Structure 1
Amino acid sequence: MALFSDKSWDEWISEYGESHTHPANRICHSIGIPMIAVSLPVLLASLLYAPLWQLGVLLFAVGWILQFIGHYYEKKPPEFFKDWRFLFVGLRWWLKKTFGKH
């Protein structure tokens, strides 16, 4: 993907991991990242079945709240504050941490 061609995925994930070392932050992200990932197709599905929008918004909001709580304990700002592309790295980091692949 040209958008991420200046570094390998392993480099992106490694850099992301440097600001996700505190156990509380890792737990918050381990729950929050999948919540955000699931919220996106749920919100899309709400176009076909309107009541789903509430679940989608709830998952999205709680997922982000958990991530910011984690960064409170980490004492470091989220990586996407310095480079917006880190918004797309979080899910790959979670997949690698959870399943050993990305």
Structure 2
Amino acid sequence: MGEARTMQDWLDGYGESHQNSLNKKIHWIAVPLIFLTIVGLLWSVPVPEVLAINEWVNFATLMLIPVFIFYARLSLSLTFGMTLWCVFCFGVCYVYESSIESSALPLWQTCLIVFVLAWIGQFYGHKVEGQKPSFFEDLQYLMIGPAWLMSFIYDKFGIKY
């Protein structure tokens, strides 16, 4: 059994198939949108009454627990940044659901449309790159994409991860 990967190992591995500048720009738009829409889709799943403590206890908040465990074992610093991003995503979902008019699309429909469009963008970026998406190699890269972007923000501000 090999050594466990560090966060830097994961980020470097992800970065190997993200060298093209257009692909990187697409990822700066598509990856956050995909993450947000997954949160929104999970937020929209009806919660059984036994779990319906309040609107904040839902499948989005519950399903992110293993994601946070994955991040925390790699980098507490990036876990903090991803927590802030998740809180923002939760806020977007809450505000959207609280303020939509009857003629607007439900959250899940809006998220599904944006999710599909963002993935089309991702695949176009990888076509330009000439590389398959990293998650074809390892599904865990789906969780690394947002952390990879967060690492650039951390680097810009001199925050260690």
How does the TM-score come out when normalised to structure 1?
A: 0.84
Match of 1:94 in 2: 149
Dislocated runs of 4+, deviation >4 Å: none
Specify which of 21, 24, 44 is matched with residue 23 of structure 1: 21
Q: Structure 2: how far apart are the matches of 1:37 and 1:15?
A: 20
| Higher-Rg member (1/2) | 2
Which structure has more RCO (C-alpha within 8 Å, separation ≥ 6)? 2
The correspondence of residues 35-74 of structure 1 with structure 2, limited to 5 A, is 35-47=33-45, 51-74=106-129
> Which residue identity is paired with 1:27?
K
The CA deviation at 1:41 is 2.3
Long gaps (5+) in structure 2: 47-96, 98-104
Match of 1:85 in 2: 140
Long gaps (5+) in structure 1: none
Q: Deviations over 1:40-90 (max 9, x none)?
A: 222233346581111110221112111111101100111111111111111
> How many equivalent pairs are there?
98
Secondary structure of the residue that 1:84 maps to in structure 2?
A: coil
> Which residue identity is paired with 1:14?
D
How does the TM-score come out when normalised to structure 2?
A: 0.55
Residue identity over aligned pairs, in percent, reads 34
Pairwise CA RMSD? 2.0
Q: Work out whether residues 38 and 59 of structure 1, in 8 Å CA contact, stay in contact via their aligned partners in 2.
A: no
